[in-house]
Structure formats: structure tokens, C-alpha cells
């Protein structure tokens, strides 16, 4: 089994022992029940823009405004309209990162107004809210704490109560999206 935590950030990567090294997740593609409703949801709620469609595939490709990616999300009409059972094998959720806690609060308000919001959590190094899209697909909207504030959470994963108002007082107008990589 692969080592889950590597404490040596400067270790030489040997492809035969360590595999390859992706830079980031480039995009996700979701099967959806109603393509038009899904495009409307992601366009309206997350301010994504349609950059391409593929009618023969019943697909649309969306980009986050300001993204330098061709597309960040692909949506394809599913030939099978059966929704997956929660907890079954497959994708659990996608996490969309926002730059500031103010944006996280706005996302929560929008999801509440859309009746898409279902929860929130403090994960130690990240603060998150959760919702469903029109297809019942889970997603997370998250804000990453400044690395200097990770403390004991650097190598821990937790699910704790999120007090968004307290976090907004502690980190007002703190943009961590382009935060420098840790040493």
C-alpha cells in the first residue's frame, strides 16, 4: 500500500516507486439527468459560463469565470436516469475552492436560497459548506486557511462544527486561493 503521508517534501520522486506526479485536478465530467437544468444551475449558482456544447453527445462544457482552463466542468446527459444510492461506490463529491470566507458566506446564502444547501464543517485546514445539484450530486464549497494557521491539522483530517461568523472575524478579507506553497 502507498504511503499516505510523506513528511519529506524534498524527496526525489522515482516513477517506478512513487508513480507520476499530477499538478492538480484539471476538470470533472458528471452524468446528469437533465442537461439543461444542470447547465442552468451551474451557470446561475456558480457563475460558470458555457464554453462549448456537443449536441451529438448531449454534453456541455463549462468554465469558471476567470479560469485559464478550457473547461472546468463537463455535463453529459446520462443514458441511465437512475440516481446512485448515497454511499455507493463512485464519486462522493467535488470540492470547489473559493478565495475568501466572504465568498464562502455568499455561497452558503446562494445555496440556501436555491434549497441546495445541506451542511457545513470545519475540517481544520479548510472550512466547507455542502450542497446538492439538481441531480442530487454532492458538492463542497471550501476555503483553505492560511498555511501558517494549519497547526496540528497539517496531518489530520477532522469534521468539526463550523462557526462561520467567528471565522469571518478571525480572517476578514483573507485571500488564500493563490496562497504560496508550503516549504
Contact 98, 177 (CB under 8 A): yes
Give the sheet arrangement for strand 73-77, strand by strand: 28-32, 73-77, 59-64, 48-54
pTM as predicted? 0.80
125 to each of 77, 152, 153, 155, how far by Cα in Å? 35, 9, 6, 9
Which residues are registered as beta bridge partners of 49? Answer: 63
Above pLDDT 70, what percent of the chain?
A: 87
Give me the mean pLDDT over the 135-148 stretch: 93
Q: Which domains does the chain have, with CATH numbers?
A: 26-82 (3.10.180.10), 92-183 (3.10.180)
- What confidence tens digit (pLDDT) does each residue in 8-62 have? 444 555 556 667 767 778 899 999 999 999 999 999 999 999 999 999 999 999 9
Q: How many CA atoms lie within 13 A of 111 on its CB side?
A: 22
Contact 75, 41 (CB under 8 A): no
**Residue of 29, 30, 26, 59 lying closest to 137 (CA atoms):** 30
120 confidence band (pLDDT: 50, 70, 90): very high
Give me the mean pLDDT over the 83-102 stretch: 85
CA distance 2 to 108: 36
Amino acid at each position: 500500500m502507498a504511503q499516505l503521508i510523506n513528511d519529506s517534501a524534498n524527496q526525489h520522486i522515482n516513477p517506478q516507486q512513487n508513480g507520476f506526479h499530477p499538478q492538480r485536478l484539471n476538470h470533472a465530467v458528471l452524468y446528469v439527468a437533465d442537461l439543461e437544468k444542470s447547465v442552468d444551475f451551474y451557470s446561475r449558482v456558480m457563475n460558470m459560463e458555457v464554453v462549448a456544447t456537443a449536441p451529438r453527445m448531449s454534453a456541455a462544457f463549462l468554465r469558471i469565470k476567470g479560469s485559464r482552463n478550457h473547461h472546468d466542468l463537463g455535463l453529459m446527459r446520462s443514458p441511465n436516469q437512475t440516481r446512485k444510492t448515497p454511499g455507493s461506490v463512485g464519486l462522493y463529491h467535488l470540492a470547489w475552492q473559493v478565495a475568501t470566507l466572504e465568498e464562502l458566506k455568499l455561497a452558503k446564502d446562494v445555496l440556501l436560497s436555491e434549497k441546495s444547501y445541506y451542511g457545513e464543517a470545519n475540517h481544520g485546514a479548510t472550512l466547507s459548506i455542502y450542497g446538492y445539484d439538481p441531480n442530487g450530486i454532492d458538492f463542497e464549497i471550501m476555503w483553505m486557511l492560511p498555511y501558517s494557521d494549519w497547526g496540528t491539522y497539517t496531518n489530520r483530517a477532522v469534521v468539526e462544527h463550523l462557526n462561520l461568523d467567528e471565522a469571518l472575524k478571525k480572517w476578514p478579507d483573507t485571500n488564500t486561493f493563490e496562497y504560496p506553497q508550503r516549504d
